[in-house]
Amino acid sequence: MPRRPAAPAAATLPPTDVRAMDAAAGLLYALAALLFAGLLLSWLLRLPSFTLRAITVGGDVARNSLTTIRANAAPKLAGNFFSIDLAAAQRAFESVPWVRRARVQRVWPDRLAVQLEEHVAAAWWEVDEGQDKLVNVQGEVFEANPGDVEDENLPTLRGPEGSAAALLAMHRRLVPLFAPLDARLDKLAMSARGSWRAVLDNGAELELGRGSEDEVAARVHAFGRSVPQLVARYQRPLEYADLRHADGYALRLQGIGTVVPGTKN
């Protein structure tokens, strides 16, 4: 009896192709799940429940009222509890006049907490054009409304850009050295070449010369020890002094000019 021809065997994929298809399917499922989760998260983050509803402000608030601070900073804030850029929010609060530094934190579920540090003015900073600025106690230059400054005895500093901290340090060093003259150091300037110049509150001008802080302070100290006797002897107020001489200083009292030797320590 003749045999029937055998049926052809079913085609099978190599094992490697099966694994590749399974991996591709799994990847597609994972991508779809991630996309769905992202869309769900985006929808949740836009819910009114996460809208920022309150901003609490603490720290230094002597120069600005809470209303003023919020009015200046709030229009620059964007986003809700999750999406707000805290670095941008920090910059917004630091743009408020007199604010030196701001620290911004989220407080669950709908609030921002802001801690402020204000500038403390130590001196005026004189500029060539426009309105003078201020120097804080850290030696940083900042801008503020001059009418907000209550201290009428703030000194004035002037120097190259970036030299405010050095000028403030020198001013602090020299202030007690002028005490024997019964005068206050009203203005201190440093030239681009590093030469120092001082103006006292009685109008007297002093050329202090160049050198390190210690060298300039030593010259002023020697000057302060000897000049009161000359002022008392001639009964004339001090108008000008040049401390740049190696072995003494040039001096001008009102109507009298002289050179005083031997002022080294």
How confident is the chain (265 residues) per 10-residue block, as mean pLDDT? 54 63 71 63 56 91 88 91 94 95 94 96 91 95 90 95 97 96 96 97 96 95 92 91 88 78 55
CA of 256: how far to CAs of 201, 229, 235, in Å?
20, 15, 11
- Determine the pLDDT at residue 50: 73
For the chain, the domains span 50-118, 121-261
Long-range own/partner contacts, residues 207-210 (CB < 8 A, 24 or more apart)? 207/241, 207/242, 207/243, 207/244, 208/243, 208/244, 209/243, 209/244
- Determine the pLDDT at residue 60: 92
Q: Which two tokens stand for residue 235?
A: 């009964």
Cis peptide before 109 (omega within 30 of 0): yes
CA of 97: how far to CAs of 26, 118, 119, 228, in Å?
57, 9, 9, 43
CATH topology of domain 50-118: Ubiquitin-like (UB roll) (3.10.20)
CATH top class, domain 121-261: alpha beta
